[in-house]
Amino acid sequence: MGLISLRMNKEFHHAELGYWIGKPFWGQGYGTEAAKALINFGFRELKLHKIFARAFAHNPASWKIMEKVGMSYEGSFREHVFRFGEFVDVKFYGLLKREFLEGIPSDE
């Protein structure tokens, strides 16, 4: 189906969210659901200060998941990665713990 992870940096109290969804499961909300669950775990259980993620600029499905889970666009690194014979731009998104907590209704 896919995979998802948090790559932690304990010194900086942050983690990078990474995910991959198998093509047969695209567009069914699994990526968004898994990202929400891992972000919740990262902030509540791991006590992270920030969670960030990145995606190729030409892959809107990936960065739209980041937007759906509350991450904010922080910028792009132009021609940052060499992939399949060409340089591609990478978009970065992030979410701070206080932003995450502000978005949660008080009865949860």
Q: What is the CATH number of the domain that holds 98?
A: 3.40.630.30
In a domain, 80, yes or no: yes
In a domain, 78, yes or no: yes
In a domain, 7, yes or no: yes
Q: According to the model, what pLDDT value does residue 44 have?
A: 96
In a domain, 107, yes or no: no
In a domain, 108, yes or no: no
Burial state string for 34-51 with b = 16 or more CB within 10 A and e = fewer than 16 = bbeebbeebbeeeebebb
Please tell me the total count of domains within the chain.
1
Task: Specify whether the CB–CB gap between 26 and 61 falls below 8 A.
Answer: yes
- pLDDT tens, position by position, for the chain (108 residues)? 999 999 999 999 999 999 999 999 989 999 999 999 999 999 999 999 999 999 999 999 899 999 999 999 999 999 999 999 999 999 999 999 999 998 875 444
CB-side neighbour CA atoms (13 Å) of 81: 12
The backbone torsions φ and ψ at residue 5, rounded to the nearest 5 degrees and listed phi first, read: -155, 160
Q: According to the model, what pLDDT value does residue 87 have?
A: 98
Q: State the Rg of the chain over Cα.
A: 14
What residue numbers bound the domain in which 98 lies?
2-102
In a domain, 88, yes or no: yes
Q: According to the model, what pLDDT value does residue 107 have?
A: 47
CA distance to 46, 89, 96, 105, per residue, from 39 (Å):
10, 25, 10, 16
